[in-house]
Amino acid sequence: MGQPVYKRIVLKLSGEALQGKKTHGIDHDVLASISAQIKEIRNMAVDVAVVLGAGNIIRGQENTASRGLDMDRSVADYMGMLGTVINGLSLQDALEKAGVPTRVMTAIEMQRIAEPYIRRRAIRHLEKGRVVIFVAGTGNPYFTTDTAAALRAMEINADAILKATKVDGVYSADPIKVKDAKKFSRLKYIDVLKKGLKVMDATAISLCMDNCLPIIVFNLNREGNIKRVVLGEKIGTVVR
């Protein structure tokens, strides 16, 4: 077994990643698979933090007036943040059952179910070998969980963001819809912004660019890919 090239990572999981083949909700087989992969890299002495989306439950932006629905954007975004808490508790339960110690830390205080996010406490949890699950985004509307992942990664001094998706990297167009879409093995931050590529939102990319934080986009559906990325294997797309 090789040595990890990253000692501390933030794993960004979309809500859709948790729903598996379901149309909504949480697929517990997928949770078990993700938990096993996280346990594997945690056993390699890699510090792991996770940021979760909530697209399997609710997407804030898709429920606003800008899309023809009569809901205030702030309200919709707060609903999305609460959805990430549900996903975070589900992942925590699966990890604990796999024997992995965890802490859920939330940007919106709810003391009965999760710790409030405090940077120094989060770092201490990681140093003690716990997987830290960040939920409720940044705690503010108008910011996505991609931005939350970039922000938390910089706050805890992570070496990279691992962006788990349903495809094996970043393409010039949707590879499901466009057969001759080109896959990129490496990209510069500025190229992502100029080309409007759907890696992460512009705010998250800009934060990573300003702080030289690499992003690795890879296919979560292939078992063992998280470990392969941590070991430095050339899979997916690297943005740096």
pTM of the model: 0.94
Q: Per residue in 133-186, pLDDT tens?
A: 999 999 999 999 999 999 999 999 999 999 999 889 999 988 888 888 999 999
Every domain of the chain and the residues it spans? 8-169+202-232
CATH number of 8-169+202-232: 3.40.1160.10
Q: Per residue in 105-123, pLDDT tens?
A: 999 999 999 999 999 999 9
* CA 111/CA 114 separation, integer angstroms: 6
Helices (H) and strands (E) in the chain, counts: 8, 11
What percent of the chain has a predicted confidence (pLDDT) above 70?
95
User: Quick one: residue 110, left, alpha or beta (phi over 0 = left, psi -120 to 50 = alpha)?
Assistant: beta
| C-alpha neighbours within 13 Å on the C-beta side of residue 31 | 21
